A = this chain, B = another copy of it.
């Protein structure tokens, strides 16, 4: 058992286009870093939270990384891989914005669960960490949504077929696919964004539009047909309800399209916006255009991330 481990869990884009609650993918950056070390006191303690602007609790029951770590530790005790009085100290380094629509709580949850498993010599399979990470995520969002957690944990483009029982399916990622994500400096609380949908009456026509586009998006990923992937980023259900929560969204989306993006929609519950592109240059151009549009249309500063979809998922980063 190593005395200390350091893990990274990537940010992720969920609610991808027509795939509300079922489709997400991982980003190469940003992401969260969690360190775990063995401790004499039994149970999980959080000894440091950094990069959160003082917003997050160090109470392991109220911090998603702590909840996920406790859940994982309890499982390790259950299979005899950790002693009944085993103790873990966590350091949580937020390296990404909170409430940004980039799966911040999912990344922390995944990192918390992974760190504990790594500290004890990796007794649990990666698949088994999903439940523990979801336990953390549930604290943040009120219920366990897996479309950020699963991509952050496994990497890649991930489909959640159903939650009962959870059925996670990894999708192929076409080689040239690039992502531009822009995070404007404003906030959309996930709970508020979800409340908009709860009990909202959707028509069969809206559902049919999303069903057709989601199925086509999945075909596009399998065929490596980036144009098909792009034109399937079409959401008639959720985006129309949530777009008004994001100042300048229409202008940002139009700017991404003009810059050559294949498709563009809200990342998670916003305010971040993602665009897909068929190469690094177009992705960079789209990101710049979206940042400009947030400033010009809404007076908002924004930062951007450009890169491929992360294929590795959460991982230890202190090993050679």
Contact = CB atoms under 8 A, between A and B. Distances in A.
B162 A18 contact: no
Contact of A159 (B18, B20, B207, B215): B215
Copies in the complex: 2
B161 A215 contact: yes
A36 B60 CA distance: 77
A207 B20 contact: yes
A21 interface: yes
Contacts of A198: 204
B237 A204 contact: yes
A22 interface: yes
Contacts of A216: 159, 161, 167, 169
Interface string A164-193: 000101010000000000000000000000
A73 to B, nearest CB: 31
B207 A207 contact: yes
A19 B216 CA distance: 12
Contacts of A162: 209, 212-213, 234
A12 interface: no
A192 to B, nearest CB: 15
Nearest to A160: B212
A202 B201 CA distance: 5
Nearest to A209: B162
A171 B213 CA distance: 14
Contacts of A197: 204
Contact of A218 (B202, B215, B228, B231): B215
A232 interface: yes
A140 to B, nearest CB: 19
Interface in A207-223: 207-219, 222
Interface of A: 18-23, 159-162, 167, 169, 171, 197-204, 206-219, 222, 228, 231-232, 234, 237-238
Given A215-B217, A218-B222, 9 more contacts: A19-B215, A159-B212, A159-B219, A161-B215, A161-B232, A162-B234, A169-B215, A202-B204, A206-B207
